[in-house]
């Protein structure tokens, strides 16, 4: 074998977590990556929260009843699960295992609590934090969604202060500026491409 080829590392499939504050745009980032044809397996998260008008079951999330979610939980079908703002969210294991086994990079969108769990369970996962430029901008985005009651908006903003304490567990932070979603996606794509050039590749094992 050619000595240079023999010395080159073989990149393993990556387990990529896109996280960040609620309202910072992590869902929009992942959706746009899929629209642009990034060759990843995009994990569909299960949740018990109500479906928003623009969302599709089986595409944006698996929208489950609490009984359905708890049944999956009892059968140990989630890699990670949590209660977020009063609703259950969970990441099904099997679709991740199948994608990684096929050599495909896997992208998950998780809240900060879920990202912390993945860091503990899969230390070699690649964690990317999506943020706004300021607290004021984050508040404007949450208000613009018109899906929050004054009480739920207050709770989300209080949670931001707690979530900021988790910053050190992330590998990268990307600012998602208003009206510049494609730029945000391009930066995340560049991070993933750079990770493929590591001399010592990440080896995510589920």
Mean pLDDT for the stretch of residues 148-174: 83
pLDDT at 148 over 70: no
Question: Quick one: pLDDT at residue 5?
Answer: 83
Listed range (11-20, 56-65, 85-94, 131-140) with the worst mean pLDDT: 131-140
* Lowest model confidence (mean pLDDT) among 107-111, 112-116, 142-146, 187-191: 142-146
pTM value is 0.84
As a whole number of angstroms, the distance between CA 70 and CA 77 comes to 10
Domain boundaries, the chain: 3-43+104-195
What is the chain's mean pLDDT, rounded? 90
Mean pLDDT of 77-99: 90
For the segment 18-39, the average pLDDT, to the nearest whole number, is 93
* pLDDT of residue 147 exceeding 70: no
pLDDT at 33 over 80: yes
36-54 mean pLDDT:
93
Report residue 88's pLDDT band, with 50, 70 and 90 as the boundaries.
very high
Q: pLDDT > 90: what percent of the chain?
A: 62
Q: What pLDDT, on the 0 to 100 scale, is given for residue 146?
A: 67
**pLDDT recorded at residue 37:** 96
Mean pLDDT over 65-87 rounds to 92
SS (H, E, C) the chain: CCHHHHHCCCCCCCEEEEEECCCCCHHHHHHHHHHCCCCCEECCCEECCCCCCCCCECCCEEECCHHHHHHHHHCCCEEEEEEECCEEEEEEHHHHHHHHHCCCCEEEECCHHHHHHHHHHCCCCEEEEEECCCHHHHHHHHHHHCCCCHHHHHHHHHHHHHHHHHHHHCCEEEECCCCCHHHHHHHHHHHHHHHCCCCCCCCCCC
CATH topology of domain 3-43+104-195: Rossmann fold (3.40.50)
- Inform me whether the pLDDT recorded for 107 exceeds 90: yes
């Amino acid at each position: 074998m050619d000595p240079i080829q023999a010395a080159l590392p073989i990149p393993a499939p990556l387990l990529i977590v896109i996280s960040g504050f609620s309202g910072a745009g992590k869902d929009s980032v992942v959706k746009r990556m899929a629209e642009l044809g990034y060759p990843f397996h995009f994990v569909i998260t299960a949740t018990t929260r109500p479906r928003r008008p623009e969302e599709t079951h089986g595409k944006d999330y698996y929208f489950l009843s609490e009984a359905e979610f708890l049944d999956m939980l009892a059968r140990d079908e989630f890699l990670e699960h949590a209660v977020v703002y009063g609703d259950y969210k969970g990441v099904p294991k099997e679709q991740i295992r199948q994608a990684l086994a096929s050599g495909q990079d896997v992208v998950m969108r998780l809240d900060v609590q879920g990202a912390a769990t993945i860091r503990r369970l899969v230390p070699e996962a690649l964690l990317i934090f999506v943020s706004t430029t300021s607290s004021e901008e984050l508040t404007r985005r949450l208000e613009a969604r018109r899906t929050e009651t004054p009480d739920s908006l207050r709770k989300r903003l209080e949670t931001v202060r707690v979530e900021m304490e988790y910053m050190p567990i992330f590998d990268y932070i990307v600012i998602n500026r208003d009206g510049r979603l494609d730029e945000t996606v391009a930066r995340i794509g560049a991070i993933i491409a750079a990770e493929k050039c590591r001399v010592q590749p990440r080896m995510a094992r589920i």
